[in-house]
Amino acid sequence: MEHQSKSLMSRLPALVVALVIIGGIGVMISNAVSTPDQDAVAELIIPNLSPAAETGKQVFDNNCAACHGANASGTDMGPPLAHTIYNPGHHSDAAFFIAAKNGVRRHHWNFGDMPPQSQVSEDELTSLVSYIRELQVANGITYQPHNM
């Protein structure tokens, strides 16, 4: 017992060095992997919603969250909409109506195409857009001129 803990103690510095190196490589890999996504909101802030946005959240949860995630934070089926690229300067409110009506061809990500969501009415989409915009503003995502 005494002997064992001693030899562990003597190996401790090497163990620590190895862990630091492994940890460092891990950080490097995760940095490399997350580079295209660096504009994603790391820690999503959930605001107090206006009544319209509250209705919109229900529409979103019922029709969009399966792919776009709880609180629009994304899943492996679809991108986060609480993301800088969906700021109103790059994706206007109209983009949401068009996306729901016609679906979306894959172009920003590798999730594949979005199927049309024509079961969602224009009124429902109006509330839904309020919801997404309030969520975006709470997370510092505001209008940026589109210059791509």
Residues that bind ligand HEC (CB under 6 A): 63-64, 66-68, 77-79, 91, 95-96, 99-100, 104, 106-109, 111-112, 114-115, 117, 120, 128
Calpha distance 101→120 (Å, rounded): 8
Min dist CB 34 to ligand HEC, Å, is: 18
Tokens at 33, concatenated: 């992997």
Cβ proximity to ligand HEC: between 19 and 66 the closer is: 66
Calpha distance 140→135 (Å, rounded): 9
Amino acid at residue number 8:
L
Min dist CB 10 to ligand HEC, Å, is: 54
Min dist CB 29 to ligand HEC, Å, is: 24
| 141 contacts: CB under 8 Å, gap ≥ 6 | 41, 82, 83, 84, 86, 87
Min dist CB 129 to ligand HEC, Å, is: 8
What number of other Cβ atoms are within 10 A of residue 57's Cβ? Answer: 22
Asked if 129 and 55 count as a contact pair (C-beta separation under 8 A), the reply is: no
